[in-house]
Structure 1
């Protein structure tokens, strides 16, 4: 399938629908104005001419038509917004295939220079793996996706769930469209829910006795109005009844509702979208165990979310003082609102955290499925989760960021062996190391990898490729390198087995000291449950070759121009390019 054509055709089709809905919206606005003017005209005519009831019927029909058209216009506006949001999804995906990921959150808040591998492998930040993958609509989904990319925990069922979602392209697009207007702040929602759980509500709110009393009082109020209407009692009776009921209800409920209202003030808009997200999930049928279980769990949450939205709507309507007077005076509105909240608090508040986590899980999974769908060139990884040995076998491996221009390489890593990779500047060493690491991250998350064939076991990963100084804390570049190697050693002692990926050990010191230090470090770490890939410019390090230390290189050819093959081969690099390129600069070429 041509994905660019797919996204482009859907965006163009939606553009036509959007244009049609806008024209319909303009027509409906004109119709509303016309019916309203007609209603006013009938009323005016009724006051100046003696045509009687036909004018009243005409005004009523005009008002009814106005209300009907206004309702149709509201639905049309909602549909227009949904189509516009969906079009944005396709346009963003189309741009991403051209290398423009600016529409997506880059996850720079997750950047951690001390993490075992995410900083070195460009997992977070601008143009990162996270930004290329992230389509989450909730902050909880974003956090979940970041956590999964940062923690290598393979789950075969997770891989099956991602594969199932990947083929549901239309359903995924509609899900992502729900987050185009606003990102749902899961942490804020959970903070508010926690406060709602702790809000003290008077016990009478849940009392069945008080509820029966309320119903009897409402019936009594209606009877008082009936008696006054038929002349059986003075109108003072229903009027004072309403005033008394309002006073009692307001006195006993306003304090509690004010506390609840102050807590949930910013929750209403988010909860409406959350309900749409949950309904979109539960309305879809799934076959895999994880997706089915999550959908089943959220089906139980629908009532909770819907009731909470109704409670929030009721709290919003309390701002109308006149309406509140009649609602409380006639039907005990505030009491029943407080009762609904108390029952929701009792039945659902403790479950909200688990339901929100389920939404976040599905949200992150949809992002990974979309990434999988957008890369048909990737292949499923074969993960061996029943062996303690480190296995890494790749055919046609390449870096996911390079696209069609990537050069593919075959590479196998044997448990407890070390691979010293030499080569000139820009020959492809660092990119290859990152390809090894980033594809392993994908494999552990059940996402297809960028290779023709890929077979790995489950192991730990630690890299040291992009050490930075910290002058604010008095840490020099060399000192930062030592601290990173110290962290690596402690990690390797605690986590078994581990693959380490190193790019230029001790590059912050002189050549001889660097060589001796590198040898000492590799000899020491070779006694641990560790396997390693080490890129270096220091050809002397290649003399460590033995049964467990192997030499590989990225060779270049020097002629009129430098030729880069970007192919890894066995052996030690013969050609270097620094002097060659500097000479050409000095000669003005």
Structure 2
């Protein structure tokens, strides 16, 4: 009987909690929608009543605004309460979506419903495309729950490059602490819902680090002085009979001064309109992270990064939000004349520029901390939803990959057949033979994905994994390119050269070579494969090479005891190919190609 992954009891508990919370939010949404409809109906009734009252008063011949005071006040009150109700309804709807996605992940219905991260896919990367890290149904889509671009970028960077053992250990502690914090993950989802579209970490950091527009203190003093004199001249004209001439003179001076600074003011205002409003969206998310009780060193260091001179980032951004609000007041048609006299726009532009000089250099650090928080929260969500997936043991004193009960996290758990794989020690390479569709490539991907997850700090889909820090190189999705004028064989040997170069680096290589050199004849293929494999092994690499060409399995004889032949079996039954997807020792003894050709009706 085949061994398949079983669902642990803790997974059922979390599934029940997701279902319960989703139902609670659905009831809340229905309640707020009912209240919303009633408030909307009440507004309509009040409006109609006001019209009727106005008509009645007009017919009585006693028109007065006093009669409309009560319905007017009621209408304004209903307007004020309506928006908070809608906000609560939207929040409940977002929470429902959050738990729906969580249930979809736990029920293996997640593919196509998450963030695919295609913008992070580099086809020249040594393993990103080969291991399906990004795109529809990818590892990134399975893991990513981040609501900010900074969080997406942090998680993607962790998948694209291995961390050091010290960093991995710190992430394990942090993920373990965050694993039960479902309330925090829900709040991050709700508070970050409006942030993803607009917030660009690189652009915001560049804005924060840009040179000051108003570095000269004397300009600040001159602006404040002219503002006071301008206001004084208007007050003098209105209340002290100083005449129009002093007022016109001061307004002319202020106008000239404002025109002199207009270009710089416009620059500050345009920049804050583009960047500042995006940053303000982040303040609620920051405030939630700042008040979360944390214990592990990595999480504490991230929260420390959200402070500047002891002041929380959320408070500093709220100060910017107040400045932006005051700046926007100048657009009010009633306040605009007073704003002109007080040089309101100039003074607020200078205040915003001063805020940016003080707090701007920390923006990049804030966003990086938020990104790491969200990446850790994503791994914590995976750990909570997959309690049977353990943290790997990271080994630093030997080159090894030892997996027991290894499966692929992108396959449905109940359909996932697991295998044991050991590399390092006596065996450094496995030559995997087998027919088409027998499971060779899936094994390579399982090994590669587990390595990527392990070295990112995540739990892995295995009963146990013992692994050294490894650089990964793979050739599972090498494609030809019409635009670049590359055949598949040329693209493959180019990738193999890249992998060979990686093997010369400071981190031992884990190579995953699928159907190596299949684009050439068997003679050249065997010679080339044996030479490449020997060179990789001599440089301390470990890995696997797959083939359905039985002649290529003979390279083991020329490489000595460091390599071992294994295979996947199949058999033809009732007109269909049957596979057990289990790895067996030795070389496969037959091929299914002719049987498959006949099964589809080819006369062979």
Match of 2:8 in 1: none
Query: Are 1:553 and 2:564 counterparts?
Result: no
**One of 565, 579, 584 as aligned partner of 2:599:** 584
Moved more, 310-319 or 191-200: 191-200
Match of 1:542 in 2: 553
**One of 419, 437, 448 as aligned partner of 2:430:** 419
Match of 1:337 in 2: 348
Contact 1:152 1:460 in 2 (8 A): yes
Match of 2:114, SS state, is coil
CA displacement at 1:10 relative to structure 2: 2.6
Normalising by structure 2, what TM-score? 0.86
Match of 1:124 in 2: 134
Match of 1:158 in 2: 171
Aligned partners of 1:474, 1:265: CA distance in 2, in Å?
Answer: 46
**One of 124, 149, 155 as aligned partner of 1:114:** 124
Match of 2:3 in 1: none
**One of 408, 427, 435 as aligned partner of 2:418:** 408
CA displacement at 1:587 relative to structure 2: 6.9
Match of 2:94 in 1: 85
Contact 1:130 1:146 in 2 (8 A): yes
Normalising by structure 1, what TM-score? 0.88
Match of 2:584 in 1: 569
Aligned partners of 2:345, 2:195: CA distance in 1, in Å?
Answer: 31
Query: Are 1:187 and 2:187 counterparts?
Result: no
Contact 2:513 2:545 in 1 (8 A): yes
Moved more, 257-266 or 190-199: 190-199
Contact 1:199 1:260 in 2 (8 A): no
Aligned partners of 1:249, 1:172: CA distance in 2, in Å?
Answer: 51
Contact 1:120 1:466 in 2 (8 A): yes
Match of 1:368 in 2: 379
Aligned partners of 1:114, 1:562: CA distance in 2, in Å?
Answer: 35
Contact 2:148 2:195 in 1 (8 A): no
CA displacement at 1:241 relative to structure 2: 9.5
Moved more, 57-66 or 169-178: 57-66
Aligned partners of 2:538, 2:596: CA distance in 1, in Å?
Answer: 40
Aligned partners of 2:243, 2:49: CA distance in 1, in Å?
Answer: 38
Query: Are 1:136 and 2:149 counterparts?
Result: no
Aligned partners of 1:303, 1:205: CA distance in 2, in Å?
Answer: 28
CA separation of 1:35 and 1:60: change in aligned 2, threshold 3 A: same
**One of 488, 495, 501 as aligned partner of 1:477:** 488
Match of 1:173 in 2: 186
Aligned partners of 2:208, 2:294: CA distance in 1, in Å?
Answer: 35
Contact 2:406 2:461 in 1 (8 A): yes
Aligned partners of 1:204, 1:244: CA distance in 2, in Å?
Answer: 23
Aligned partners of 1:360, 1:168: CA distance in 2, in Å?
Answer: 17
Match of 2:292, SS state, is coil
CA separation of 1:112 and 1:444: change in aligned 2, threshold 3 A: same
Contact 2:150 2:201 in 1 (8 A): no
CA separation of 1:92 and 1:471: change in aligned 2, threshold 3 A: same
CA displacement at 1:149 relative to structure 2: 0.3
Aligned partners of 1:250, 1:67: CA distance in 2, in Å?
Answer: 38
- Give deviations 1:86-140, integer Å, cap 9, x for gaps: 2222223333434243232212222223212112111112111011112222222
- Give deviations 1:297-317, integer Å, cap 9, x for gaps: 325212332233233334444
Match of 1:270 in 2: 278
Match of 1:277, SS state, is helix
Query: Are 1:348 and 2:348 counterparts?
Result: no
Match of 1:529, SS state, is coil
Higher RCO structure, 1 or 2 (CA under 8 Å, sep 6+): 2
CA separation of 1:363 and 1:390: change in aligned 2, threshold 3 A: same
**One of 530, 535, 539 as aligned partner of 2:541:** 530
Moved more, 241-250 or 550-559: 241-250
CA separation of 1:437 and 1:480: change in aligned 2, threshold 3 A: same
Contact 1:311 1:340 in 2 (8 A): yes
- Unmatched segments (≥5 aa) in structure 1: none
Aligned partners of 1:83, 1:245: CA distance in 2, in Å?
Answer: 55
Question: Paired residues, what number?
Answer: 579
- Superposition RMSD in Å: 3.3
Aligned partners of 2:200, 2:467: CA distance in 1, in Å?
Answer: 36
CA separation of 1:238 and 1:4: change in aligned 2, threshold 3 A: farther
Match of 1:284 in 2: 292
Aligned partners of 1:262, 1:496: CA distance in 2, in Å?
Answer: 47
Contact 1:285 1:292 in 2 (8 A): no
- Unmatched segments (≥5 aa) in structure 2: 1-10
